[in-house]
Structure 1
Amino acid sequence: MTLDGLPGLPARIRTYLDAHRGHDVPAAAGCFGPAPVVVDDGRTHRGRDAVRAWLERTSAEYTYTATALTAVSHDDRRWTVAQRLEGDFPGGTVDLAHAFTLDDEGRITGLSIAPWTAG
């Protein structure tokens, strides 16, 4: 499923996912608010500079394709998007849940990435 198959997904989340998938660090970084927090792979990245460094590293580290599995709105500001990544990273395939928190302007203020299991 593409992101187009996820109706109602907020624009900034859609833009972030498309930009990150396309290794467009400036576009992905532009989706975050002024004091974002990203938790990924057991590490916490706080602030715009740390998040941009994380984006640069993760965009260059591996080559992969991402397939959207599902998106769930918890309320106006919290969404979880599950994706299947397939690529040249250890294991080759992983399903990940991206839990987003948005501010009043729709900017990403929080992102937590963890393994996802349907259920």
Structure 2
Amino acid sequence: MPLKLPKPVADYFAADAKDGSAVANRFTPDAVVIDERQTYTGRKAIARWKAESSTKYEYSCEPIAAEEEGGKIIVTAHLTGNFPGSPVDLRYAFVLAGDAIAHLEIA
């Protein structure tokens, strides 16, 4: 059975397979992403982060679980690719603002 995700979150994972700009467009203009202890603020920084990580590694990402917790949408995704530690399950904590993502922390 396919995982039911809120539209902005489903759109993020669909865009993740494309490019940095496609991902950045899923966020609010002043959104924040925290990944690998680095913080990226705003769509330009988010697009750059995504483009750099996509250039550095090839990977596939499949959401496998989702729940709401304290106003956040928590998605566990299984990643496989040519990065150190592959495969790995990562936790994506999304905060939504309407039909966009305002905050994302990946751990």
TM-score (norm 2): 0.90
What letter is aligned with 2:2? G
Q: How far apart, in 2, do the equivalents of 1:66 and 1:108 lie? A: 18
Q: Aligned to 1:67, what secondary structure does the other structure show?
A: strand
Moved over 4 A (4+): none
Unaligned 5+ runs, structure 2: none
Q: How far apart, in 1, do the equivalents of 2:46 and 2:82 lie? A: 23
Q: CA deviation at 1:65?
A: 1.8
Q: How far apart, in 2, do the equivalents of 1:54 and 1:25 lie? A: 7
| Structure 1 segment 1-119 matched on structure 2, within 5 A | 5-7=2-4, 9-20=5-16, 22-74=17-69, 78-103=72-97, 105-114=98-107
Once the two structures are superposed, residues 47-85 of structure 1 have per-residue CA deviations (whole angstroms, 9 ceiling, x without a partner) of: 22211111111222211122222011236x520110111
What letter is aligned with 2:85? G
What letter is aligned with 2:7? A
Higher normalized strand content (fraction of residues): 2
TM-score (norm 1): 0.82
Q: How far apart, in 2, do the equivalents of 1:27 and 1:84 lie? A: 21
Identity %: 36
Q: Aligned to 1:16, what secondary structure does the other structure show?
A: helix
What letter is aligned with 2:19? D
Unaligned 5+ runs, structure 1: 115-119
Q: CA deviation at 1:91?
A: 1.8
What letter is aligned with 1:28? V
| Equivalenced residues, count | 107
